[in-house]
Structures are given as structure tokens and as C-alpha cells.
Structure 1
């Protein structure tokens, strides 16, 4: 009798253990299609947003390859079938593009260098040291950003004119640097503050001085922050139009935005050739694209993550 009852008791004890894992598995199986459907919808939405964002750039490049009569047609041409590079040749014919390119590159490189230098020193002082007037300095940086640039044109023009720096790369670079460096300080300050000071203290325990510990340990970790701040300074200096229009009246000292404006004005005296205008716009955008291709690896790398463990 005991031999017949023992298997029955064993079956009763083992039955719940067999049925218990099946319930959550069935629930997970029912939830998976919903999760996948949500991911598909988000992916489709992301693709639609990306297309909307990229389409103006594509339309600019597409229009630069088409003749003006085809662009003025009521039927849009979405693919440059039968297009040519004639618009680019016409835009580069007089050689003024390369002169404007040299001016823009010179101004932009000067502004990026000095902005990063001043912003780096200021952000280190704000983040690593406690001194009298520190809060007032940070507040002044924020207040400067609130001032409208247009309200400073007269004062800037008189200052640069009295210094004899009109139509000069140095004069425009000084104004650009003064305008960009406050936000660059605020931006780079967040990167410096995000790096733990314990890394420098550990290096100082090993025998390094404070400056050596900062340059050898902290400074390499600031590479993404420096690149991001440099990109901001680059874009501000490269695309700036109004200050250059005031301080660079000579055509020989025009930057690329001013060159593009002059190109459109020249086209406006006759029937506007939108193909050439789009070709000129594409030429202005190419250096920015090349710059981003060079620095995008540093911008996306998380060098700071995992610096402190345990």
C-alpha cells in the first residue's frame, strides 16, 4: 500500500513545480509582439524625422545640378537626371570663392584657437578653485549671453575703426572671439566639473605636481569637451554674417556668407539663376561637412565614462 501511495504523493508535489514556470513564459510571449510593434513604430518615426531633416540638404544639392529652366518648371525634379556641374563652374569662374574661403578659414581658425584657450583656462579656474568673485564671474558670463548682438554694432564698429582694424582679419576675429567665448566657457565648464578631482589627487599622491596631474590625467579626458566647444566656436565664426557685413565692407575681404550674399545680389540684377545660387550654397556647406567628418569620432566617444571605478 505504501508503494502505491508514494508515487501519487510525488506526483502531487511535483505538479505545481512543473506548471509554475509556464505562466510567466506565456505572459512574456504575449508581451513580445507589443514590444516589437512599439519598436517598429519608433523606428519608422525616426526614419521619417531623418528624411524631413535631410531633405532640404538633398534638395539644395539636387538643384545645384539642374539648369535654371528646369528648376523654374511647375513640375519638381526630385532626381538630377541629365544634370551637370555647369552651375559649379559658373560659381567658381571669377575666383572670388577661393579668396572668401581663405578669409573665412583664417578668421575661423583664429577664433577657435583663442576661444578654446580662454575657455579652457576660465573653466578650470571656475571648476577647480574657490576664489573671491567666482560667482560674480559666472553670472557675468551668463549676462553677456543675454545681450543682443545688434545692440553692440555701433560700439564695435567705432572701437575697431579707431584701432585701424576695419577690413582686417584681426579686427573681426577679436569681435567673434569676444562674442563666442562666454558660452564656450559655460559649455566647457560642465566637462571639467564632470571629471572627478580624485583622479588628480591620486596622481599627486604618486608624486606629480598639481599642474602635472591635471595635464597628464585630466586634460586627455577633456578631449570630447574641447571638440564639442570647438565645433560650437567653428560654426559661430563660419556662419556669422551681420558682424562681417559691418566690419568688412571691402569685397576683397568678404567671408563666404558675404560672398554668397553678393552672388545672390549679382543674380538679382537679371533673372535669378537658382541653380548657381544652390551650387554656391553647396560650396559654402562643404567645408563644414568635412570638418564634422574629422571631429565626429571625438564628439561621440565617451572617454570620461568608466574613469573612476570601485
Structure 2
């Protein structure tokens, strides 16, 4: 057996090294945020960087959680995010099946519109969305914010799920219909399990998109009882000073639901990819 590594092993080692380096660069800001959240206030802006927080302090988290209306903001964020994700997935699933499986007039135009809408910056839509919601009396109204998030999530969700529907052979659906399944039964028992990777992937995108938004939540909502957590993060900055310790601790708390959501669905994502594989 040769002691020298084969070209395949050398390529694998190079690829692994590059992957580790890229992962480290991407994860370092997250680590620095969490480490800084546990530092005492006097060491956060120190000229000498401290890579490991010692002594560990919980004062930043205590000041962050002591802000008024924190749990109200948590409730609003969860309500808006989970509602927009659920409604977007239901609507997008039916739309993706219709676009992928049926041929109708204007289908190509609709696909082009889905792509073009995603190219419009969200900031350019603030004034039109504000005027639209004002005309229907939905300003400072939680369902109005849910509707706003859905308009930005739906194009990407429909486009992504349409690709997954296209990847499912039509013969599987036809075989289920021949075996006695009704059309709705066929969608639930055959198509839906195979689409699970796409549903999970788009739900992650929709969740992050709605959870992280600050601009629309701040513009549309006017009362503190309707604000979401991104608006809460800005409250640590005042005209006199910035409480960096509490702000970074609040950012760490703010990131936890996204991490928890991803951990809950990642097994379903991998399992769906495995179960949805079709052998030709």
C-alpha cells in the first residue's frame, strides 16, 4: 500500500480545508456576539480584544430582559412570523402544483412576474405598502403586518416549491390514481411527502425573512403593544448613549428562535430528502 496520498485524497483534503476555513469565517461573528454578551460592560469596548469572556457576567442579559414590554414583543413576533409562514406555505403549495402540473394562458408571464418581483428592493415598497394598508384600515394592525410579509415571501416560496413539484415524476401520481386514490388523497399521500424537503427549506426562508424584518414593522406599527422584537433591539440606542452590552445580549436572545426552528426542522429536511429520492 502506497504511503503517498492519492490525487483523490489530496483533492478531498483541500476541499475539507477550504470548507473548514469558510465555516470558521462565517461562524466567528456569531461566536463573537455570544462571547461579548457574557462580558462585563467595561470590557466590551476594550482596546485589547478578549476572545474568551472572563469573568462571565449575566448583567447584559438582565438589562436586556428588564426592558418594558419584552414579552409583548415576543408574542407579536411569534404571532406574525408563524402566521405568515403557515399561510405562505399553504398558498404557495397550491400555486406551485397549479403552475407545475397545469398548462394555462399566462403561465409563462406569471413565472416571469415571480422572478421580477423578487428583484425589487424591499425598501422601494415601503410607501406603496403603507398607502395600501392605510386605504384598507390595516395600519398598526397585526394582520396587516402578516399580509405584508406574505407578499414578500410568496414569490420565492412559489418559485422554489414549483421546482420541487417539477422534480416529482407524474407517473407516481398517475399510479396512485389508478390504484384508487382520489386526487386530494393522492396529493396528501404521494406528493406531499416527496415535497417535504422543499416545504422545509422554504419555511426556513419565510421564518427568517419575517423574524428579521425591522423596516416594515417600524413603519406600519405605531403603538408599542404591536411592535416586534427587531424594533425592541433599536430601543437600546438613545440620543445620549448606546448600551452595547444589553444590545448584544438582546441580539443573542433574538437569534435563539431562528436557531431552535432550524434545529427542529433540519432532521425533517434531511429525512425528506432521503425519503423523497426516486430510483429511476
**TM-score calculated relative to the size of structure 1:** 0.84
Uncovered stretches (5+) of structure 1, i.e. residues with no partner: 1-24
Of 140, 149, 156 in structure 2, the residue corresponding to residue 167 of structure 1 is 140
Instruction: Note if 1:88 corresponds to 2:61.
Output: yes
State which drifts further: 31-40 or 272-281. 31-40
- Is contact 1:166-1:248 (8 Å) kept? yes
Greater C-alpha Rg: 1
In the alignment, what sits opposite 1:55?
28
Listed as ranges, the matches of 1:1-310 within 5 Å are 29=2, 32-263=5-236, 265-266=237-238, 269-270=240-241, 272-301=242-271, 302-303=273-274, 305-309=276-280
- Is contact 2:195-2:276 (8 Å) kept? no
**Alignment deviations for residues 48-102 of structure 1 (CA, whole Å, 9 cap, x no partner):** 2211111111110111111121122211111112111111011111342221111
Alignment CA distance shift 1:227-1:35 (3 Å): closer
Deviation of the 1:224 alpha carbon: 1.2
Alignment CA distance shift 1:226-1:34 (3 Å): closer
Deviation of the 1:212 alpha carbon: 2.1
Distance in 2 of aligned mates of 1:229 and 1:38: 33
State which drifts further: 287-296 or 41-50. 41-50
- Is contact 1:221-1:303 (8 Å) kept? no
- Is contact 2:70-2:232 (8 Å) kept? yes
- Is contact 1:116-1:230 (8 Å) kept? yes
- Is contact 2:129-2:148 (8 Å) kept? yes
- Is contact 2:77-2:211 (8 Å) kept? yes
**Alignment deviations for residues 230-277 of structure 1 (CA, whole Å, 9 cap, x no partner):** 1111111111111112101222221111110122x23x523x332211
- Is contact 1:195-1:304 (8 Å) kept? no
Name the SS for the 2:175 alignment partner. helix
Distance in 2 of aligned mates of 1:85 and 1:42: 40
- Is contact 1:192-1:222 (8 Å) kept? yes
Distance in 1 of aligned mates of 2:179 and 2:112: 37
Name the SS for the 1:32 alignment partner. coil
- Is contact 1:63-1:71 (8 Å) kept? yes
- Is contact 1:224-1:303 (8 Å) kept? no
- Is contact 2:97-2:162 (8 Å) kept? yes
- Is contact 1:244-1:258 (8 Å) kept? yes
- Is contact 2:89-2:203 (8 Å) kept? yes
Deviation of the 1:209 alpha carbon: 2.5
Name the SS for the 2:235 alignment partner. helix
Alignment CA distance shift 1:73-1:156 (3 Å): same
Distance in 2 of aligned mates of 1:146 and 1:54: 28
Deviation of the 1:37 alpha carbon: 3.9
Alignment CA distance shift 1:71-1:123 (3 Å): same
**Alignment deviations for residues 185-219 of structure 1 (CA, whole Å, 9 cap, x no partner):** 00110111111111111111212223322221111
Distance in 2 of aligned mates of 1:107 and 1:305: 31
Aligned residues: 279
Deviation of the 1:34 alpha carbon: 4.7
